[in-house]
A and B are shown apart, each in its own frame.
Chain A
Amino acid sequence: MGSVTVADTIRETTRDHLERNDGLLLGQSVTAVGWVNGTVPDCRNIIELPMTDVAGAGIAVGAALVGRRPIFVIRFQDFLVLNGSPLIYFAAKTKALHGKSAPVFVRAIASDGLGPVHSGVLHGIFMHFPGFRVCSPMTPWEYRRIWEDFMSHDDPMIVSEHRASFPNTEELEDRVAGDAVITIYPVSATRFEAVKAADVLAAEGIRCNVVHVLWLKPLVIDERMAGPLCRSGSGLVVDAGHETAGASQAIAYALTRATGIPVAAMGLADETKCLCPPLQNRIPDAGRIAGAVREMLRCASPEGLAHG
């Protein structure tokens, strides 16, 4: 177990960019009250934006056009609906239209249990639009890897972070077993829960593969992604965003198209996330993921079909 957290990694990667690359970081209230959960360094080239979400994103895009490779911090991913227009309609389109890129590194931070507009996971919306790279790193190594990817490409990148990952010091390796009967593809903070679910199911004698999804776009369905699915014969994509027309359904469809094996999708219910605990509509936890797997296997079994 390492001692460097995801938050440490974000902060030091950012510091290096701001100090050594003369990069830029822009965001609202980023240098106060915990400095965005310890992810923002105290150094030069940080711009506190006023509460001007759309203009703030446009300013970040303008800085990208002149080569500063800005890090644009969005403290709550729900705000992407406001911040989105300059990103979607300019940053993501300028390379295809004009051959001029606007590489913005968008730190879109998700949470859970904080009510209707502070708990959202919107990365699925950004998979929809051409021109973005979209990822959801949950470990220190993954964060360093996606940063290198950003610096070696010239596309705007939506980085779907999750506060649940900030204290994490461990890497999340794929779990693949020859006798697995299902492959789980978890995204964002559900990855921590999927690992727990696999342990619970293993104790019941149900062996699951867990193939972690870091890159949402481009979504590369290579042997690492498709092989375990083909061998296990069924699949389940689990996401921290809404299920309807969301990342889980899109990835499940892509996997099904690539392999011919039906893959189910699991995300948030089609309900508003309220603040009170019974109605928070939280991300799928280990219990729900394990329950979904049991149900899928029951329906697929001869007994399940007979009683189905």
Chain B
Amino acid sequence: MIPAQGSGMRSASLGVIPDIALSFTTEHSLEMFRRMCVSRYFDLGLVESVKDRRVTYPVYLSLGQESVAAAISTVVPGHMVFTQHRCHATYLSFGGRPEKLRDELLGLPTGTSGGRAGSNCIQCHEGRVTMFGHHGLIGENVPQAVGAALGSGRPVVCFFGDGAAEEDYVFAAMGFAATHKLPVFFVCEDNNLSILTPIEKRRSWSITDVVRALGIPAVDITDDPWTIAHHAREQANSLPAFLNIYVCRKNWHVGVGSDGPPEWDRFALVKERLRERGLAERSGSLEDETRQAMEKLWAP
């Protein structure tokens, strides 16, 4: 079998534009990092709560993949959001309240769906945020996002994974968006894994090549938040568009276990980049404050 072009391109540096971070204000850079911290420390607190058996629902952690939503939410904060099953970072980055997500995972009536839906089905309809929950059929949110854009005329951002792109109906829906020029920003968080089966064992084609063939602008990049935000800004005004972003899932598909260290640690790489920009102190304070807030949030 011919290996997929996409999977062979995975790296921590794919598409990173040198000094692109310098085109962002300090405040923008720190806000992306703060959102990464919120997702990271929320999920780290959740891991402890699962180990303590305070949370008994299945959990789908965003650890390792935080930068995608953190970056994109700063660029398209008003878009309707259709999220995938791995959605904690999406919910938190777009402005969902952490305590409601915690309560959902605890099965409490104060949760995002009254404790009825759980980790992979998170929604948010508060303030400016309109985020629809996934139910568990991988990729189901892609046609729904397209239908919501068709029905409302409003811009939509739709997150899904590399496995979802293999579902029959995903490219069909993207093709419909191309035909009708619908304002949908498609974002694939490509962690290379379907449960634990890598892309090279599943298919020979690249998502990005197929999306391009549908007539939608499409780019493969790594999960550097400045690079993501740069492309999101470029694409946001000419939808539909597609970003395939290589990420490293830190934990199992479902649950808090791990199969070893990820290929790269984006969180550490971002901290290093902030240090190079002279922002070590400010980013360190942000991280400390966020960690403490999340520890308090999860305190028994």
Contact = CB atoms under 8 A, between A and B. Distances in A.
Interface of A: 24, 47, 49-50, 52, 54-68, 70, 85-86, 89-90, 93-94, 96-100
Contact of B137 (A56, A90, A97): A90
Contacts of B149: 62
Listed residue (A59, A61, A97) with the most chain B CB atoms within 10 angstroms of its CB:
A59
Contacts of B258: none
B151 A66 contact: yes
B173 A59 contact: yes
A86 B144 contact: yes
B143 A65 contact: no
Given A62-B146, A86-B143, A97-B133, A50 B151 contact: no
A24 B116 contact: no
A64 B173 CA distance: 16
Nearest to A61: B144
Range class of the B interface residue count: 35 or more
Contacts of B215: none
A85 B137 contact: yes
B117 A98 contact: yes
A60 B172 CA distance: 14
A99 B172 CA distance: 29
**Which 6 pairs, one residue from A and one from B, show the smallest C-beta to C-beta distance?**
A62-B147, A58-B143, A63-B151, A52-B172, A59-B147, A55-B172
B125 interface: yes
A50 B148 contact: no
A99 B124 CA distance: 11
Contact of B143 (A55, A67, A94, A98): A55
A50 B175 contact: yes
Nearest to A69: B151
Contact of A89 (B123, B133, B140, B148): B140
Listed residue (B82, B145, B150) with the most chain A CB atoms within 10 angstroms of its CB:
B150
26 contacts: A49-B176, A55-B169, A55-B172, A56-B143, A57-B143, A58-B140, A58-B143, A58-B146, A59-B173, A61-B144, A61-B147, A62-B145, A62-B149, A65-B144, A65-B148, A65-B151, A66-B151, A66-B154, A68-B152, A86-B140, A89-B136, A90-B135, A96-B116, A98-B113, A98-B121, A98-B133
Contacts, number: 115
Contacts of A93: 135
A83 to B, nearest CB: 11
A271 B158 CA distance: 43
Nearest to A47: B150
B185 to A, nearest CB: 15
B168 interface: yes
B68 interface: no
B132 interface: yes
A49 B146 CA distance: 12
B114 interface: yes
Interface of A is mostly: helix
B34 to A, nearest CB: 28
B143 A50 contact: no
B176 A50 contact: yes
B142 interface: yes
A63 B143 contact: no
Contacts of B152: 66-68
Listed residue (B123, B135, B149) with the most chain A CB atoms within 10 angstroms of its CB:
B135
A55 B137 contact: no
A61 B150 CA distance: 11
Contacts of A59: 143-144, 146-147, 150, 173, 176
Contacts of A63: 147-148, 150-151
Nearest to B175: A50
B179 interface: yes
A58 B117 contact: no
Given A54-B172, A58-B142, A100-B132, A70 B151 contact: yes
A62 B176 contact: no
A69 to B, nearest CB: 10
A90 B137 CA distance: 9
A239 to B, nearest CB: 29
Given A97-B121, A99-B113, A55 B151 contact: no
Listed residue (A54, A89, A93) with the most chain B CB atoms within 10 angstroms of its CB:
A54
B36 to A, nearest CB: 27
A90 B140 contact: yes
Contacts of A89: 135-137, 140
A60 B137 contact: no
A79 to B, nearest CB: 14
Contacts of A47: 150
B147 A58 contact: yes
Interface in B147-174: 147-152, 154, 168-170, 172-173
Contacts of B132: 65, 100
Contact of A52 (B114, B116, B150, B169): B169
A191 B168 CA distance: 39
Nearest to A93: B135
A67 B136 CA distance: 23
Given A50-B176, A62-B144, A63-B150, 10 more contacts: A54-B172, A55-B173, A56-B143, A61-B147, A62-B146, A65-B144, A65-B151, A70-B151, A86-B140, A89-B135
A6 to B, nearest CB: 28
A66 B148 contact: yes
Listed residue (B114, B154, B176) with the most chain A CB atoms within 10 angstroms of its CB:
B176
